[in-house]
Structure 1
Amino acid sequence: MSRYRYGAYEDGPDPLAPPYDVRDALDAVGDSVLEGTRPEEALRDLLRRGLPGADGRRGLDDLLRQVRERRRELRDRGRLDGTLEQARALLDTAIGQERAELFPDPSDEARLRETELDTLPADTSQAIRRLSDYRWRSDAARATFERLKDLLRQDVLDAQFQGIKQAMQSQDPRAMERVKDMMAALNEMLEKDARGEHTQEDFDRFMERYGDMFPDRPGNLEELVDALARRAAAMDRLLASLSPEQQAELAGLMDQVMQDAGLAMEMSRLNDALRSRRPDLGWGTPERMNGEQPLGMGDATTALAELADLAELEAALAQDYPGARLDDIDEEAVRRALGRRAVDDLDALRRIEAELERQGYLQRKRGKLELTPKAVRRLGDTALRRVFAQLTAGRQGDHDQRDAGQAGELTGSSREWRFGDEQPLDVVRTVSNAIRRNAMDAGPLPAPAAGGLTAVPAADPSGGASGTPAAVPPARAGRPGRPGGVRLSVDDFEVQETERRSAAAVCLLVDLSYSMVLRGTWAAAKQTTLALHALVTSKFPQDAIQIIGFSNYARTLHPTEMAGLDWDMVQGTNLHHALMIAGRHLDRHPDFEPIVLVVTDGEPTAHLRPDGRSLFDYPPSPDTLVLTLAEVDKMTRRGAGMNFFMLADDRRLVSFVEEVARRNGGRVFAPDAERLGQYVVSDYLRVRRGRR
């Protein structure tokens, strides 16, 4: 019998996980948009913060923080002069062993040898060059010096070709010959590519012969060139990071190693080709390392190459350059630096940006990101849900009742039920009719219908009747007044009378002046506008709503425009012009109930002149006040009550709106900015439920 073990799935994202709900991301973007942020900035902020929800992914800021922590760890790993330090130590050991062998010998030859050792240059590379032809008397010293040369050869080659160090640990002389052949073949392949003669077959043959020297297993010549160029640039930065004395000493060691190995010419050709192909890699840029542990040349080059990759990744994750996109981030670099989970987080961020556009919530016009009407409807619904969440359950104005009748407003009267009625059932009158009828019936109670059921009208989900009888269990048998209950008949049922709602013409006038931003009320005004528009279009589609923004001039606004609208950095609060536009909207709907709502934080300071131009004056000129109040009087004659929502307690504003209330009979509110939506929506519902 087979046995199975189960564990967490680790090969990428969970294949059984539900798809990410793009609407949550849209709501997160909408929060920023409704606070006054442009859509493109809001999306960028979302990608920086990460996706909302319990299953959300980390954002770019978290990935960027990890990259910076990794860079600090690498810098603290060690020092860059480890090869020089180790070479000096081995050289000193070899010289000490040779002196120990020479000291007992009284011959002049021994003294001459000691003199030669005493006059060696302080520069390690020059000392090694002088000793390359020295005939060692001590076998131990000779072995130490050979170990020094092997170390330098391995480190220098490993600094250029990661993976060659392992190949060079073999004492077989053919290993070095194979390295020479590889470099010659590589240079030949690069030259053919420069002439346009290189093919993928050439690269495949090269990798068949020398692929073990390239542990990253590149798939083509470009990948190989990229890896070699990054490592060569890191080696160049290593030299630039040392002191001038250390630079000269290490460069001399490298040159000595390449000369001894017969690779100097091939290495020079390769470095020239790599520089010309990738001049963007920051050749010669110094890098700071703060650790105490000395690093070999190969390990130091690897650390510097990784630091360079992390620097590029950090710049890509920061996304602070013109035209930055998530596609600029190298997924393979993320995988190398931060692991698979970070790649999954990046994929999720890329997917949400693409999905918002694919599903029709965002669109680009002339390179600028904009909200679509579909997205604005969603934002309006979100704003409306938040408004209703603030309303006290069951209070007047709460329009989110699930058991309310849909036929109209209650009149307080009732009538007998007729087939097809949708009005709510009048339970008290229905039961009273049954009691009176049973009291007048002196005979026995009628037998129940077949199956113990009595026919009654079926109530619809809203509390009214659907028009057809339905079978319901009867009350327990008994006469009136007894505990047994009351038996109902179809003739007993009555419904509450309602009056059909009239359509309304709604005008919402929103102040767009710069003072709204200064007082921090601009975002609340946008949220309120979208919430009211969502309420009217979804719950009262027969109503005609118009949004009017006003500053030095007034204009009609579409919800899509309102969502991404910026404030007007101009002087003037032209309520006079806004009321003129609102009046034309009401005149186009003469049979509709007029509703005018004004959101402002300042008194009128501008009006339209006869030539159509706006005139600003502060304090307000008498003409501004006279013309504005004249439009208020016209609203009064139309039967439109004007309700003001003041977002400031300015004395002049209070005086003005009190005068409007006296002339028009409207109401005045002074809500906090965060409760503006609650006030406006509640007041609209209160006025809307009134009957003409």
Structure 2
Amino acid sequence: MPIHKRSAKYGRYTGGPDPLAPPVDLAEALDAVAEDVMAGYSPRHALQEFLRRGGRNRDGLDDLARRVQQRRRDLLSHHRLDGTLDEVKKLLDTAVLEERKQLARDAMMDNTDRAFREMQLQNLPPSTAAAVNELASYDWQSGSAREAYDRIKDLLGREVLEQRFAGMKQALESATDEDREAVNAMLRDLNELLGKHRRGEDTDADFQEFMARHGQFFPENPQSVEELVDTLAQRAAAAQRLLQSMSPEQRDELMQLSAQAFGSPELLAQLSELDAALQALRPGEDWTGSERFEGQEGLGLGDGTGVLQDIAELDELSEQLSQSYSGSRLDDLDLDALARQLGENAAVSARTLAEIERAMQDGGYLRRGADGDLRLSPQAMRRLGKSLLRDAARQLSGRQGSRDTRMAGAAGEQTGSSRQWEFGDAEPWDVTRTMTNAIRRTMADGGDPARGLRLAVGDIEVAETEARTQAAVALLVDVSFSMAAEGRWVPMKRTALALHHLVSTRFRGDRLQLITFGRYAQSMDIGELTALPALREQGTNLHHGLLLAGRFFRQHPSMQPVLLVVTDGEPTAHLLPDGDSWFNWPPDAETIRATVAELDRLGRTGVQATFFRLGNDPGLERFIQRMAQRVDGRVVAPEVGDLGAAVVGEYLRAHVRSAYADGEWF
């Protein structure tokens, strides 16, 4: 049987978004949104800011809006609107010159007639339109002169049609009388259809019949009378704005010249009727606006109308990109218009931004709270916490003897999982997987495992274990105004998120309480802390924070209490018996006594305490050092960028100390 070969062509998918394209990467968007949320912005505002800024190697809305405005300025600064007048003047000069040459060559002509003709040509009005109209009845002696003059009428006819129907100038460049009659027939039928539509008497059959007769004049392929009216009205309104943008002299010249279009007064009458019908059907179009053109490149009536349409489209894109109207979404963007004006890459950027917005709002990363505002969802918090914990782990892994946060526990029962050995690990080796790794590496290097194996560090895997010692962890974070003023607000929140993710995913038996202390202290869940705006009230009420920590520890008496305190200032407030907060600067002696007394009570419960001192204030340094000594605690003074790694590391260290104290390592 014969074999039939079939060939196939492959190219860029043009039917909308590529169905095989990978989903958008939300990691960058989520990180940026969360960073702004932690800085005090609402999630809605944070998402809008990310969409405006864009991401790595991707334009944002502001970039696209800037390019839209630049293109608008370019159109106005590169063009002027007298292109048709210039073309007509050149054709007129050619006709007059050729006629004079013919008169000079024609020896058989009567001298009187020659003199009269030369005088008529010599005394033509300076106005191009007036000269063209005066020569309308002139009996040309030169064939080339007559041809040049007829080209003026043809040019004007094609230009006035191009103003209403894009592409008509080229389509009628070599038009015959039959072609012109077809245009007149189309205009008559169009005006009849629009008249019936205005009166509500048209039917779908009327539209289909019209398109069957004259569809070749409408490359936009409208599917209904309404779509047809929209297309024509936008073009006609742009033609009106073009005339309004001309100088009064240019406008008068063109209005006079239009009478010569195709030498057919009927054409102008049909176009005037069409304009009136479109203006009545679409009064909302801009029929009276104007623009200031200041360039050197002349535009004809058709091209100028196209430029005015481009400017109107750019203005609509600018409004869409601003997203300043109620209920705005990036799905409102006209991607086809954006591609026309700025190129396909701009449309791709906008489509990606729209997909990010849709995925963030509809994909579960932002959810609407009871008050109607958008908030980071638990899914978003988990993803962000995972990213922040990974950052902290990366910082920890660069410290000698440190432990990666991927460990499942400090000691105890094996989980059945294993991981690559890291410096500082004390878990037992997973011998089977270690040997398997060595065999695979040896064979990949071309060796023979039967002749012996040499272990490499990268081959070693250790068995993950669950920690038997559970901890009740109270993370106290300073939210006084100085934290925000000194740039420590966001790092503090990032630290809380990283620790929260570690406890909730790796140490599920532990309990974590987040406590903020400013003028007062309060317990918060991670979502509340993340969304907490920067507070401007003064006061560092560590006393109240320690009271809440003590209550939390008493709720979990069987767990090892772990206290982590992050602060950048000495206590300046304490809680009074009636519940009010007493504030004083410099720190009051009573505030210090109350804070120290509460810390001593916690110390008697065996709390493991670590104080994270931010900043280099000598008074704070002395105070924190003495506080740590009272409970046999530790002081860590990290750079603000290392705060997350420092807190996570201390939490892990507390687990290790607890394991040693319980004898689990022996």
TM-score by length of 2: 0.81
Q: Distance in 1 between matches of 2:113 and 2:428?
A: 118
Ranges in structure 1 where 5+ consecutive residues have no aligned partner? 409-419, 425-460, 467-495
Q: Distance in 2 between matches of 1:162 and 1:19?
A: 39
Q: Distance in 1 between matches of 2:534 and 2:254?
A: 63
Q: Which residue of 2 aligns with 1:227?
A: 231
Q: Distance in 2 between matches of 1:272 and 1:578?
A: 76
1:179 is aligned to 2:183: yes
1:145 is aligned to 2:149: yes
Q: Which residue of 2 aligns with 1:517?
A: 484
Map 1:278-357; keep pairs closer than 5 Å.
278-279=282-283, 281-289=285-293, 291-320=295-324, 323-340=327-344, 342-357=346-361
1:386 deviates by 0.8
Q: Which residue of 2 aligns with 1:163?
A: 167
Q: Which residue of 2 aligns with 1:533?
A: 500
Indicate conservation of the 8 Å contact 1:40/1:369, yes or no. Answer: yes
1:72 deviates by 6.0
Q: Distance in 2 between matches of 1:614 and 1:403?
A: 42
Cα-to-partner distance string for 1:380-406 (whole Å, 9 max, x where unaligned): 111111100111368555144669775
Cα-to-partner distance string for 1:100-121 (whole Å, 9 max, x where unaligned): 4556766555444444444443
Over 3 Å counting, the alpha-carbon distance change for 1:627 and 1:372 in structure 2 is same
Q: Which residue of 2 aligns with 1:378?
A: 383
1:219 deviates by 2.2
Cα-to-partner distance string for 1:57-79 (whole Å, 9 max, x where unaligned): 65545655654565566456643
Q: Distance in 2 between matches of 1:107 and 1:509?
A: 113
Q: Which residue of 2 aligns with 1:92?
A: 93
Q: Distance in 2 between matches of 1:266 and 1:106?
A: 43
Which structure shows the bigger proportion of residues in helix conformation? 2
Q: Which residue of 2 aligns with 1:503?
A: 470
Cα-to-partner distance string for 1:433-475 (whole Å, 9 max, x where unaligned): xxxxxxxxxxxxxxxxxxxxxxxxxxxx964899xxxxxxxxx
Q: Distance in 2 between matches of 1:101 and 1:243?
A: 37
RMSD: 3.6
Q: Give the partner amino acid of 2:561.
A: P
Q: Which residue of 1 aligns with 2:11?
A: 9
Ranges in structure 2 where 5+ consecutive residues have no aligned partner? 419-426, 433-462, 662-666
Over 3 Å counting, the alpha-carbon distance change for 1:201 and 1:575 in structure 2 is farther
Indicate conservation of the 8 Å contact 1:64/1:318, yes or no. Answer: yes
1:128 is aligned to 2:132: yes
Q: Distance in 1 between matches of 2:585 and 2:280?
A: 67
Match of 2:43 among 36, 39, 44: 39
Give SS of 2:657's match. Answer: coil
1:582 deviates by 1.7
1:671 deviates by 1.0
Give SS of 2:513's match. Answer: strand
Q: Give the partner amino acid of 1:244.
A: P
Indicate conservation of the 8 Å contact 1:167/1:175, yes or no. Answer: no
TM-score by length of 1: 0.79
1:35 deviates by 5.6
Q: Give the partner amino acid of 2:94.
A: T
Give SS of 2:209's match. Answer: helix
Cα-to-partner distance string for 1:407-448 (whole Å, 9 max, x where unaligned): 17xxxxxxxxxxx99999xxxxxxxxxxxxxxxxxxxxxxxx
Q: Which residue of 1 aligns with 2:537?
A: 570
Cα-to-partner distance string for 1:602-657 (whole Å, 9 max, x where unaligned): 22223334443334332233343333333223322333243221222223322332
Q: Distance in 1 between matches of 2:505 and 2:146?
A: 93
Indicate conservation of the 8 Å contact 1:404/1:462, yes or no. Answer: no
Over 3 Å counting, the alpha-carbon distance change for 1:327 and 1:255 in structure 2 is farther
Match of 1:561 among 528, 540, 561: 528
Q: Distance in 2 between matches of 1:508 and 1:150?
A: 85
Give SS of 1:262's match. Answer: helix
Q: Which residue of 2 aligns with 1:631?
A: 598
Q: Among the aligned pairs, what percent are the same residue?
A: 43
Q: Which residue of 2 aligns with 1:388?
A: 393
Q: Distance in 2 between matches of 1:404 and 1:564?
A: 31
1:665 deviates by 3.1
Q: Give the partner amino acid of 2:251.
A: Q
User: How many correspondences in the alignment?
Assistant: 613
Q: Distance in 2 between matches of 1:680 and 1:553?
A: 23
Match of 1:652 among 619, 624, 627: 619
Cα-to-partner distance string for 1:355-376 (whole Å, 9 max, x where unaligned): 3333322223455321111211
Over 3 Å counting, the alpha-carbon distance change for 1:637 and 1:320 in structure 2 is same
Q: Distance in 1 between matches of 2:650 and 2:130?
A: 92
Q: Give the partner amino acid of 1:407.
A: G
Q: Distance in 1 between matches of 2:289 and 2:102?
A: 46
Over 3 Å counting, the alpha-carbon distance change for 1:119 and 1:171 in structure 2 is same
Over 3 Å counting, the alpha-carbon distance change for 1:41 and 1:8 in structure 2 is farther
Give SS of 1:572's match. Answer: coil
Q: Give the partner amino acid of 2:12.
A: E
Match of 1:398 among 386, 397, 403: 403
Worse-superposed segment, 540-549 or 256-265? 256-265
Q: Distance in 2 between matches of 1:164 and 1:603?
A: 81
Worse-superposed segment, 640-649 or 398-407? 398-407
Q: Which residue of 1 aligns with 2:459?
A: none
Cα-to-partner distance string for 1:509-551 (whole Å, 9 max, x where unaligned): 1122232222111111011000111111222212221101122
1:209 deviates by 1.2
Whichever of the two has the greater Rg, that structure is 1
Q: Which residue of 1 aligns with 2:84?
A: 83
Map 1:232-311; keep pairs closer than 5 Å.
232-254=236-258, 257=261, 260-279=264-283, 281-289=285-293, 291-311=295-315
Worse-superposed segment, 374-383 or 181-190? 181-190
1:508 deviates by 0.8
Q: Distance in 2 between matches of 1:516 and 1:255?
A: 77
Q: Distance in 2 between matches of 1:499 and 1:405?
A: 7
Give SS of 1:589's match. Answer: coil
Q: Give the partner amino acid of 2:499.
A: L
Q: Give the partner amino acid of 1:147.
A: R
Over 3 Å counting, the alpha-carbon distance change for 1:89 and 1:393 in structure 2 is closer
Over 3 Å counting, the alpha-carbon distance change for 1:143 and 1:399 in structure 2 is closer
Q: Distance in 2 between matches of 1:367 and 1:196?
A: 44
Match of 1:587 among 530, 554, 559: 554
Match of 1:672 among 639, 649, 664: 639
Indicate conservation of the 8 Å contact 2:411/2:467, yes or no. Answer: no
Q: Distance in 1 between matches of 2:162 and 2:621?
A: 81
Indicate conservation of the 8 Å contact 1:239/1:284, yes or no. Answer: no
